[in-house]
C-alpha cells in the first residue's frame, strides 16, 4: 500500500505547529496503524529527520496510551477499538490520512501527536477511589453484589482513560470519563460510602482543570473504544443533584489544576 499522511508536527507546547505531508510506502494491509507510523519513522530516521512523536504502550487496546485523531475521528474509522487495534486494511491504497493530536486545553501538546493527560489523574485523585482500612484480606463473597450491578460496574470499569471522549467532544468535556470512573464504584457496595462526595469532587475537579461541559451530544460514546454508555453520565448527574440536596460541598482542597 502507498499512502499520503498529513501529520500534525509541533516541536513543543510553546511553538505553533503545522501539518506536514509524508509519503508512506511499502505498507502492508496487515500492519496496525502504529506499525505503519513505525515504518514511516524509520524512514525519517534514515533520512536524518526528526521522527513523528506519538503515544503508545501495550499495543493491544488495554492501556489507553494511543491517542490519534485519524481522518477526523478519534481512534480512527472503526468502532470500539483503539488506534493500535486499527489495521491498515481499513484504508485503501492511495488514501490520504490526516493525523492530529487530541485537542483540549487540559490536554496540552508535549510534542507532535503526544499530549499530557495528567489532568485525568488529578480527577481520579479528587474522588475516583474508595477508602478502606487495610488488613488481612476479607473472605470472598462476604459482600453480595447482584449480577446486573456487577455487570454495569464492569462495563464502566472498562474505561481505559485514553481521552478520546474529550477529543471528540465539540465542548471538550470529560464527562464520559468522569462518569465512568464514578459509576464503576457507585454500582458496588464498597463505593456507596463516598458516593455523593465523590460525584461533587470529581465534577468540581473536572471544571477546575478547564474541561468543557456536557451538552449530551453523544460524540464521546460514539468514539469510545470501550463503548462506555451515556447512561453513566445521567447517573453522575443524578448523584450530583442528590449531593446538592444533601448539602454536600466540594472537598476543601482540590488537587492542583495545572492547566490555565
Partner 1 sequence: MTGVLTLYRTSVGKKVIMAVTGFILVGFVVFHMYGNLKMYQGPEVFNAYAAGLRELGYPVFGHEHLLWLARVILLVSVVLHIWSATMLTMQSQKNTFANGVSGMRRYGEKKRQTGYAAYTMRFGGIVIFLFIIYHLLHLTFGVVGYGPGEFKHPHGGEYEVYSNVVIGFQNPLISAFYLFTMVFLGFHLYHGVWSMFQTLGLNSAIYTRLLRGLAVLIALAVVIGNISFPIAVMAGIVGPAA
Interface with partner 1 (CB under 8 A): 6, 8, 19, 69, 71-73, 98, 100, 103-106, 168-173, 200, 203-204, 206-207, 210-219, 222-223, 229-231, 233-241, 243-250
Residue 69 backbone phi and psi in degrees, to 5:
-90, 105
- Residue bearing cell 485519524: 70
Residue of 250, 23, 13, 196 lying closest to 108 (CA atoms): 13
Residue 53 to residue 24: CA distance in whole angstroms:
16
Q: Looking at beta carbons only, is 92 or 213 nearer to partner 1?
A: 213
Minimum Å gap between C-beta 57 and partner 1 is 24
Rounded CA separation 238/258 (Å)? 28
Q: Which is nearer to partner 1, 114 or 169 (CB)?
A: 169
The least distance separating partner 1 from the CB of residue 217, rounded to whole angstroms, comes to 4
Residues paired with residue 8 on neighbouring β-strands, in sequence order: 19
Residue closer to partner 1 by CB (options 59, 118) is: 118
- Cβ nearer to partner 1, comparing 135 with 247: 247
- The number of CA neighbours under 13 Å toward the Cβ of 112 is 16
Query: What is the grid cell recorded at 25?
Result: 510506502
**Nearest approach, Cβ of residue 26 and partner 1 (Å):** 25
Cα separation of 161 and 176, whole Å?
Answer: 10
- If the CB atoms of residues 8 and 33 are measured against partner 1, the closer one turns out to be 8
Quote the CA–CA distance of 246 and 172 in Å, as a whole number: 29
Report d(CA 35, CA 109) in Å as an integer: 22
For partner 1, the closer of residues 160 and 178 by Cβ is 178
Amino acid at each position: 500500500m502507498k499512502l499520503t499522511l498529513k501529520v500534525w508536527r509541533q516541536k513543543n507546547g510553546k511553538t505553533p505547529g503545522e501539518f506536514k505531508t509524508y509519503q508512506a510506502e511499502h505498507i502492508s494491509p496487515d500492519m496496525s496503524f502504529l506499525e505503519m507510523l513505525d515504518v514511516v519513522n524509520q524512514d525519517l530516521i534514515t533520512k536524518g529527520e526528526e521522527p513523528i512523536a506519538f503515544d503508545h504502550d501495550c499495543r493491544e487496546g488495554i492501556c489507553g496510551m494511543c491517542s490519534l485523531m485519524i481522518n477526523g475521528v478519534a481512534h480512527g474509522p472503526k468502532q470500539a477499538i483503539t488506534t493500535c487495534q486499527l489495521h491498515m486494511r481499513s484504508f485503501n491504497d492511495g488514501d490520504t490520512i490526516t493525523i492530529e493530536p487530541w485537542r483540549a486545553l487540559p490536554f496540552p501538546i508535549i510534542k507532535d501527536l503526544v499530549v499530557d493527560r495528567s489532568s485525568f489523574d488529578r480527577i481520579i485523585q479528587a474522588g475516583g477511589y474508595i477508602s478502606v482500612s487495610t488488613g488481612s484480606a476479607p473472605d470472598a463473597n462476604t459482600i453480595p453484589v447482584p449480577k446486573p450491578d456487577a455487570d454495569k460496574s464492569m462495563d464502566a470499569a472498562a474505561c481505559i482513560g485514553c481521552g478520546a471522549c474529550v477529543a471528540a467532544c465539540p465542548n471538550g468535556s470529560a464527562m464520559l470519563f468522569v462518569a465512568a470512573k464514578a459509576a464503576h464504584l457507585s454500582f458496588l457496595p464498597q463505593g456507596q460510602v463516598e458516593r455523593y462526595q465523590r460525584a461533587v469532587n470529581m465534577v468540581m475537579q473536572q471544571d477546575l482543570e478547564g474541561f468543557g461541559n456536557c451538552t449530551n451530544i453523544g460524540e464521546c460514546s460514539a468514539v469510545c473504544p470501550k463503548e462506555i454508555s451515556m447512561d453513566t453520565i445521567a447517573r453522575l448527574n443524578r448523584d450530583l443533584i442528590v449531593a446538592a440536596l444533601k448539602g454536600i460541598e466540594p472537598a476543601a482542597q482540590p488537587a492542583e489544576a495545572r492547566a490555565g
